[in-house]
Amino acid sequence: MRRSSHLHAAAALLIIGALWFIMFCVDIPPDETSDNVQIQKKETTYQHTPQTTETAGVFTWDRCACNESAANVSGFSSLPGHIQDFLFYRHCRHFPMLLDVPNKCGGLHKSAEVFLLLVIKSSPLNYDRREVLRKTWAKERLQNGVWIRRVFLSGTTGTGFEKENLNKLLRLENREHNDILHWDFNDTFFNLTLKQILFLQWMDKNCRQARFLLNGDDDVFANTDNMVEYLQNLRNNNGDQHHFSGELIYYLGPMRDPGTKYYIPVQVQESEIYPPYCGGGGFLLSGYTAMVIYQMSHNITILPIDDVYMGMCLQKAGLGPESHFGVRTAGLNVPSERVDAYDPCYYREIILIHRFQPHQIYLMWHGIHDPNLKCKN
CATH number of the domain at 316, please: 3.90.550.10
The reply to whether 340 falls in a domain is: no
Question: pLDDT above 70 covers what percent of the chain?
Answer: 83
Residue of 49 and 350 predicted with greater confidence: 350
The reply to whether 57 falls in a domain is: yes
Say yes or no: 76 and 138 in one domain.
no
Residue ending a domain, among 327, 344, 364, is 327
What average pLDDT does the segment 64-70 reach?
Answer: 91
Say yes or no: 85 and 104 in one domain.
no
Residue 11: predicted pLDDT: 47
Total structural domains in the chain?
Answer: 2
Report whether pLDDT(71) > 90. yes
Residue 6: predicted pLDDT: 45
The reply to whether 211 falls in a domain is: yes
Q: What is the DSSP letter of 352?
A: E
Task: For residue 249, give every residue at least 6 positions away whose Cβ sits within 8 Å of its Cβ, in sequence order, or none.
Answer: 274, 276, 277, 278, 279, 307
Say yes or no: 278 and 216 in one domain.
yes
> Mean pLDDT in the chain?
87
Question: pLDDT above 90 covers what percent of the chain?
Answer: 79
DSSP annotation string for 203-266: HHHH-TT-SEEEEEETTEEE-HHHHHHHHHTSTT-SSSS--EEESEE-S---B--TTSTTB--T
Q: How confident is the model at residue 107 (pLDDT cuts 50, 70, 90)?
A: confident
Q: How confident is the model at residue 63 (pLDDT cuts 50, 70, 90)?
A: low
Residue range(s) defining the domain that contains residue 184:
97-259+268-327
Q: What is the DSSP letter of 344?
A: G
Alpha helices (H) along 281-357: 287-297, 306-316
Report whether pLDDT(69) > 50. yes
Burial class (CB in 10 A: 0-12, 13-18, 19+), 36: exposed
Say yes or no: 321 and 221 in one domain.
yes
Say yes or no: 225 and 316 in one domain.
yes
Q: How confident is the model at residue 24 (pLDDT cuts 50, 70, 90)?
A: very low
Cα–Cα dist 263/289, whole Å: 28
Say yes or no: 70 and 207 in one domain.
no
The reply to whether 364 falls in a domain is: no
Q: pLDDT, tens digit, for every residue of 227-238?
A: 999 999 999 999
Q: pLDDT, tens digit, for every residue of 87-102?
A: 999 999 999 999 999 9
Cα–Cα dist 233/256, whole Å: 42
Q: What is the DSSP letter of 94?
A: B
Report whether pLDDT(21) > 60. no
Q: pLDDT, tens digit, for every residue of 259-297?
A: 999 999 999 999 999 999 999 999 999 999 999 999 999
Choice among 138-147, 324-333, 336-345 with the minimum mean pLDDT: 336-345
The reply to whether 216 falls in a domain is: yes
Q: How confident is the model at residue 23 (pLDDT cuts 50, 70, 90)?
A: very low
Say yes or no: 150 and 49 in one domain.
no
Residue ending a domain, among 89, 113, 131, is 89
Residue ending a domain, among 89, 112, 133, is 89
Choice among 49-53, 161-165, 205-209, 359-363 with the minimum mean pLDDT: 49-53
Report whether pLDDT(319) > 90. yes
Residue 335: predicted pLDDT: 75
The reply to whether 291 falls in a domain is: yes
Residue 62: predicted pLDDT: 66
Say yes or no: 108 and 79 in one domain.
no
The reply to whether 337 falls in a domain is: no
In the 3-class helix/strand/coil scheme, how is 14-79 assigned residue by residue? HHHHHHHHHHHHCCCCCCCCCCCHHHHHHHCCEEEEEEEEEECCEEEEEECCCCHHHHHCCCHHHC
Q: Which amino acid appears at position 94 of this protein? A: H
Say yes or no: 251 and 128 in one domain.
yes
Cα–Cα dist 345/347, whole Å: 5
Residue 271: predicted pLDDT: 96
Say yes or no: 122 and 140 in one domain.
yes
Report whether pLDDT(25) > 80. no
Q: What is the pTM of this model?
A: 0.84
- Report in angstroms the alpha-carbon separations of 70 from 73, 246, 254, 299: 6, 35, 20, 19
Say yes or no: 157 and 60 in one domain.
no
Say yes or no: 178 and 45 in one domain.
no
The reply to whether 359 falls in a domain is: no
Quickly count: other Cβ atoms within 10 Å of residue 168's Cβ: 11
Burial class (CB in 10 A: 0-12, 13-18, 19+), 363: middle
Task: For residue 60, give every residue at least 6 positions away whose Cβ sits within 8 Å of its Cβ, in sequence order, or none.
Answer: 50, 51, 53, 96
